[in-house]
Structure 1
């Protein structure tokens, strides 16, 4: 009985350490990406996230399309900062425009014309 309790305690401790290490490495990676996207030498665009839209939906769609993204603030707006070359802006617009997300009441969300913060 004592052996079983000791094994359980060791398993819980090992699991906690493994989870802590995973979360730390994930946090370090997110910080590294944020720093790279905020670097003035990195070509990025910022898309203001419309009210009521989950930014993770946008981030996931752009990540699946091969873009590096981070949620950031530009001025007073919460934005999704996307690493892309000038020639890739149209592709980023297309990915955002093609997102079909239903609101909670089931009505379709239309992003309208996708405008980046530097185009205002």
Structure 2
């Protein structure tokens, strides 16, 4: 499901979309601070809005569910594609699919700077 970065999600609760990528829509690339990626993995272990089943990556053939591990506990894996990660800053709540981690790792997706700043501010090392 595609939503342009930093637009309001259509459910009307005011959350702001980040990382809702889909084939046929361009996205920003260029890498991501590894600290942001690791904090997103941490958040994926306790996600929001869990769904039934898994969404697959439309950019590659990696089989779902895609699993990743973080720097905190490299032996602990989390499945991606069945929930959202919410990050709050002073003005808004960002909502990203857990697959954002895979998009960063495998496809070079670069989330918006305001989102990355909120991740680092809310979840400092």
TM-score, length of structure 1 as denominator length: 0.30
User: RCO higher in 1 or 2 (8 Å CA, sep ≥ 6)?
Assistant: 2
Larger Rg: 1
